[in-house]
Amino acid sequence: MTTLPNWLAGLGLLVPAVTGLFGYVLAGRNEQARDERAAKREAVARRASVRERLEEQSHAFQRETLLELQDALQRQVRAVAKVIFHDRSTLRDQGKLTLVGPDLDAENYEIGVTVQRLQERLLDAALRDAVDNFRRHVVRVETSFIAVQEMSAEAGISHLEGLQQEIGEHYMALGDQIGTGLRAELGWLPEAPPPV
């Protein structure tokens, strides 16, 4: 039988213990690094999910805004047409303008506020500007009674008919722009996720 020196026998016992401890520490560090990488991937995935959800909500909000805006603008054009019709009728029948009445005045105000509110919700700056230009045109039409009062009844009626035609043309052009934006929103689909 061969005898080993004590220090060699002690070393034989110590080396596996140290190696095992070192292996255990390394395995723990590897596991910790794997957990950190998994946590980072989960955080990135959560942010991407939130971003996707917000983007979908934004597009849905714009779709609804554009649909509401179409309805509100149609109501506004009808209300302006009622005012013009009222002014034309009173000019023809009485030779002068009269007040439109509180109901039509309140309706015009409410619709104007609604259109402005919807305009402010639009993300597309060009469309927002187009709606603003239309609103300004409507205001000019509604305040045209100042100029019409100084005209003869026949000239005033002719002027009002021209304004009604202008408002219709502006409305049709704006309706086309809104329709284009609405079709873009209706056709929007989220981007396909990158391959894994």
> Which CATH number belongs to the domain containing residue 72 in this structure?
1.20.120
Region 165-191 average pLDDT: 89
Asked if residue 135 is part of any domain, the answer here is yes
49/65 Cα distance (integer angstroms): 24
pLDDT at residue 3, rounded to an integer: 64
What is the band of 7 on the pLDDT scale with cuts at 50, 70, 90? low
Asked if residue 93 is part of any domain, the answer here is yes
Q: Which tokens sit at 46? A: 């959560």
Asked if residue 37 is part of any domain, the answer here is no
Comparing 75 with 100, the larger pLDDT belongs to 75
21/24 Cα distance (integer angstroms): 5
186/182 Cα distance (integer angstroms): 6
Q: What is the pTM of this model?
A: 0.72
Asked if residue 107 is part of any domain, the answer here is yes
DSSP 30-44: HHHHHHHHHHHHHHH
Asked if residue 170 is part of any domain, the answer here is yes
Q: Give me the domain span that covers residue 150.
A: 61-187
The model's pLDDT over 45-56, given as tens digits with 9 standing for 90+, comes to: 888 777 888 888
Asked if residue 155 is part of any domain, the answer here is yes
Number of helices (H), then strands (E), belonging to the chain: the values are 5, 0
Asked if residue 108 is part of any domain, the answer here is yes
User: How many structural domains comprise the chain?
Assistant: 1
What is the band of 11 on the pLDDT scale with cuts at 50, 70, 90? low
The model's pLDDT over 114-151, given as tens digits with 9 standing for 90+, comes to: 999 999 999 999 999 999 999 999 988 888 878 888 88
156/144 Cα distance (integer angstroms): 10
Residues 6+ apart with CB under 8 A from 148: 87, 91, 97, 156, 159, 160
Asked if residue 144 is part of any domain, the answer here is yes
